[in-house]
Amino acid sequence: MKKYLEKLSQHESLSQEEMLDAAHLMFTDEITDSEMAAFLIALKSKGETADEIASLASVLRKKAISVNGQFDQVMDNCGTGGDGSQSFNISTASAFVLAGAGIKVAKHGNRSVSSKTGSADVLEALGVNLHLTSQEIEERLEAIGIAFLFASKVHPNISRIMKIRKELKISTVFNYTGPLTNPVQLDSQLLGINKREMLDLFASVLDKLGRRRALIINGAGYMDEASLQGTNSMILLENGKKTHITLNPEDVGLPYYTNDMIRGGDARENADIMLRILQGEKGAYRDTVLLNAGLGIYANGKTDNVREGIAIAKESIDSGRALQKLEALIHSDTYKKAGVM
């Protein structure tokens, strides 16, 4: 680790091989907590490259539990967090709309870190079992078309890293790796980030991680979700090619809403918001989910444009299929015991 610290202190980037080695060292007793903290600070001070972030994410995936099922075109939709918007759980609600539209979703998430309620918190409030084995995750992906991968459960070896992160009390590269470390091999991804200047960087990272197609978004008001408040900036990654896109509500036939209108609350409040959306309640919450789910459908490649993606998202909700996916996930343990799964 010493040679990597010296290199970073000179503001020199690590090669892919060097970063892979450094990341593996974080899971050993060969380095001290102080060395790991120094490494994270030096990396942040220099500025992380796509190779460095992708290499770290690759090692974190290898250290996660194995989900080995052979699934066709699985996607994830999640953000990095940290935007300070206190919005409701947009990507979690959107995941069920995506699943209702026939897209297989491996939803990776955790408890709250920078917001009031994380995806794990709201799903737990709804009665979803968070503590699944790899086999149970595979069963749900196969039978239901959506599974939740609780980050704390699928990444059992990062407790030391998490401890050091908390002690540092500053953002590090680990603030951005959560959406990159899904142990399921993803074909496509919708990724929200809270810093517009990092769109191109994360498009490169997802390319290096093997995504066939992905949409990287920074929303109006610098949210890590698409927003109906104004202009959303994004990059479409398709087979290694990057296309820069801006999108406003009127471009897709949706009304304007300020970000204050989509604030959430605690886990129970956000669970209630999600249920109301999936049951068909109209308004700012629903339209925000329609936008994000429509973008997810577009990111997956199921449609050639966002307007059509939004139309498919509407049908997923209004037909009741999105709600059925949530109910199936809530009752999956019961179904399994009954031999339905």
264 is in an annotated binding site: no
225 is in an annotated binding site: yes
Nearest to 301 by CA among 191, 213, 186: 213
45 is in an annotated binding site: no
CB of 192 within 8 A of CB of 214? no
266 is in an annotated binding site: no
Beta-bridged to residue 188, according to DSSP, are 75, 213
113 is in an annotated binding site: yes
109 is in an annotated binding site: yes
Three-state DSSP at 85 gives coil
29 is in an annotated binding site: no
333 is in an annotated binding site: no
110 is in an annotated binding site: yes
Neighbours of 302 (CB within 10 A): 18
76 is in an annotated binding site: no
211 is in an annotated binding site: no
Q: Could you give the dihedral angle defined by the CA atoms of residues 32, 36, 37 and 42, in that order, rounded to the nearest 10 degrees?
A: 140
200 is in an annotated binding site: no
CB of 125 within 8 A of CB of 131? no
91 is in an annotated binding site: yes
Q: Which residues contact 175 (CB under 8 A, 6 or more apart)?
A: 80, 81, 82
89 is in an annotated binding site: yes
171 is in an annotated binding site: no
CB of 82 within 8 A of CB of 172? no
83 is in an annotated binding site: yes
Nearest to 36 by CA among 177, 183, 205, 166: 166
Specify the pairing of strand 188-192 against strand 146-150: unpaired
166 is in an annotated binding site: no
121 is in an annotated binding site: no
Which residues fall in the annotated binding site for 5-phospho-alpha-D-ribose 1-diphosphate?
79, 82-83, 87, 89-92, 107-115, 119
Which residues fall in the annotated binding site?
79, 82-83, 87, 89-92, 107-115, 119, 165, 224-225
Which residues fall in the annotated binding site for anthranilate?
79, 110, 165
Which residues fall in the annotated binding site for Mg(2+)?
91, 224-225
